[in-house]
């Protein structure tokens, strides 16, 4: 697969992600969005997401990377599940 096709596919997926994040932002009005995972560490992904949010929202949230390990969200959900 050529690099151009890979980039186009990535841009399309980030566009899909951005539409969902915009919807959540309109409902919840967060001040910050924290990205986790290996793909989120890619500068292109972050830049595309920030660009889409800044065009779609009057007050876009800050987009930051998590300082925790990639499985931190899973590990943090276990105590919550045990409380339910």
pLDDT at 60: 96
Mean pLDDT of 54-74: 85
pLDDT at 76: 77
Residue ranges making up the domain that contains 30: 3-83
Mean pLDDT of 65-81: 77
HSE value, Cβ hemisphere, 13 Å, CA-based, for 82: 6
pLDDT at 84: 66
Q: How far is CA 73 from CA 33, 43, 47, 68, in A?
A: 14, 21, 23, 9
- Number of domains into which the chain is organized: 1
pLDDT digits (tens, 9 = 90+) for 3-49: 888 888 888 999 999 999 999 999 999 999 988 877 777 888 899 99
């Amino acid at each position: 697969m050529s690099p151009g096709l890979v980039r186009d596919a990535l841009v399309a997926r980030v566009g899909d992600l951005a539409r969902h994040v915009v919807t959540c932002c309109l409902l919840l009005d967060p001040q910050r969005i924290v990205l986790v995972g290996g793909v989120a560490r890619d500068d292109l992904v972050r830049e595309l997401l920030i660009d889409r949010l800044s065009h779609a929202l009057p007050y876009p949230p800050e987009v930051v990377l998590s300082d925790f390990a990639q499985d931190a969200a899973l590990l943090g959900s276990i105590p919550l599940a045990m409380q339910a």
